[in-house]
A and B are shown apart, each in its own frame.
Chain A
């Protein structure tokens, strides 16, 4: 069965410093992995997606994630945090075992950015 574990429920950084949000996955086959972001009182927005074409995936707003099969990790990074990055971030794995697409969500990491 597919699953994801987000290792931190809360991360706090200062504006201008790097961001690291950690995610480990479990999958019986080569997975599709995603990061979604949710700003307060908003729906979920796709940040980036890994589909085996390249292990380093670039997303919107300067975020990127690296797929490491040996570590079963898909951590999200950004070199320099901005106040507008404060939001909740979800690591997600796709499960197509039922004959249709299903997304399995992690519990989320709330990112706080301080001036």
Chain B
């Protein structure tokens, strides 16, 4: 798990708060991903960055805003979230053309 780190590990926020999730990868990869894992649902891909450019935005509401300032860091900025946004948010990285993704431990988000 030390290859991909995520902070914070747990976050509780109100619907009017603004917070950010951080992901850092120490593997030298140049693609990074955000996933949402909700109870009783398959993992949902939210965003994909390749060489710091967003290449996929999977119809994610605008209250989620990603940022990739360099190939090692990925952020997910959150604002005016809804209780249904409570979930485990997972970050992953890979090195194309290889397709193996390495995951961080996740941030458990609770929206009150």
Contacts and interface: CB of A to CB of B under 8 A. Distances in A.
Contacts, number: 54
A107 B42 contact: yes
Interface residues of A, number: 23
A105 B1 CA distance: 20
Contacts of B92: 44
Contacts of B56: 98, 100, 102
B99 A96 contact: yes
Interface stretch (B11-19, B67-75, B79-87, B103-111): B103-111
Nearest to B48: A100
Contact of A43 (B50, B90, B99): B90
Interface string A29-60: 00010101000011111100100000000000
A101 B43 contact: no
Contacts of A32: 99
Interface residues of B, number: 27
Given A41-B108, A42-B105, A46-B102, A100 B31 contact: yes
A100 B96 contact: yes
Interface in A97-115: 98-103, 105-108
B104 to A, nearest CB: 5
Contacts of B97: 101
Contacts of A99: 55
Interface string B43-55: 1010010100001
Contact of B55 (A34, A94, A98, A106): A98
8 contacts: A32-B99, A43-B4, A43-B103, A43-B106, A98-B56, A100-B50, A100-B56, A101-B101
Interface of A: 32, 34, 36, 41-46, 49, 90, 94, 96, 98-103, 105-108
Interface of B: 1, 4, 6, 31, 41-43, 45, 48, 50, 55-56, 90, 92, 94, 96-106, 108
7 closest residue pairs by CB, A with B: A44-B103, A43-B105, A94-B99, A43-B103, A105-B43, A101-B99, A107-B42
